[in-house]
């Protein structure tokens, strides 16, 4: 089995993380996209009384993500917005470690994700892809390849910067 497709250990400092809560214009469609493209599992869904998804939780890789419809009145009252409301941009990028970033990137692109940076081995020791989902959220998926010391990380960054 190729080491990139084997279950890679996630660095200890990323085992426990802040749980992101994103807002989208159609949470049901987003959940379906995340299931097809990222292999997500839906863990919980709370329908809003007037329709739509008030709150849902999915698992992508080993990470939990909360999401809901930005158009639900309860969400609007708390001033939650989707990227489309902000002109299509977002100030947040979601990072998730997965066993096989290449397979995920191919599946995500086939389902409609926009690949911004194709899968590549990076100086920090991870194979990485950057993509934008149909709801305009940015994602970085990583497959951990090797642990890199801080000194080696700095050396590799300097070498990569000099090559540009």
What is the pLDDT of the chain when averaged over all its residues? Answer: 86
Mean pLDDT of 149-158: 89
- pLDDT, position 74: 58
Question: How far apart are alpha carbons 125 and 110 in whole angstroms?
Answer: 27
What does pTM read for this prediction?
Answer: 0.80
Mean pLDDT of 103-112: 98
- Residue 4, pLDDT > 50, answer no
pLDDT tens track for 78-89: 667 777 777 777
Between 4 and 31, residue with greater pLDDT: 31
CB atoms within 10 A of CB 11: 14
- Residue 108, pLDDT > 80, answer yes
Angle between helices 27-38 and 101-110 (to 10 degrees): 130
Joined together, the tokens standing for residue 148 give 């890199």
* Residue 126 CA: distances (Å) to CA of 26, 153, 161: 32, 12, 17
Residue whose entry in the numeric block shows the structure tokens 């990380």: 153
Strand order in the sheet with 41-47: 21-24, 63-69, 53-60, 41-47
CB-count burial class (<10 Å; 0-12, 13-18, 19+) for 124 = middle
Q: Which long-range contacts (CB under 8 A, 24 or more apart) does 27-30 make?
A: 27/52, 27/53, 27/56, 27/67, 27/68, 27/69, 28/52, 28/53, 29/134, 30/67, 30/133, 30/134, 30/135
């Amino acid at each position: 089995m190729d080491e990139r497709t084997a279950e890679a250990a996630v660095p200890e400092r990323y085992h426990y993380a802040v749980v992101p809560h994103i807002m989208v214009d159609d949470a049901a469609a987003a959940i379906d996209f995340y299931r097809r493209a990222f292999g997500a599992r839906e863990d919980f869904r709370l329908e809003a009384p007037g329709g739509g998804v008030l709150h849902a939780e999915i698992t992508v890789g080993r990470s939990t993500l909360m999401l809901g419809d930005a158009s639900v009145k309860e969400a609007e009252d708390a001033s939650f917005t989707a990227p489309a409301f902000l002109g299509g941009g977002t100030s947040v990028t979601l990072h998730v470690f997965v066993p096989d970033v290449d397979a995920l990137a191919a599946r995500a692109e086939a389902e409609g994700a926009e690949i911004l940076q194709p899968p590549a081995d990076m100086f920090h020791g991870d194979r990485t892809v950057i993509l934008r989902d149909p709801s305009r959220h940015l994602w970085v998926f990583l497959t951990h390849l090797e642990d890199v010391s801080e000194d080696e990380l700095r050396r590799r960054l300097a070498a990569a910067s000099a090559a540009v």
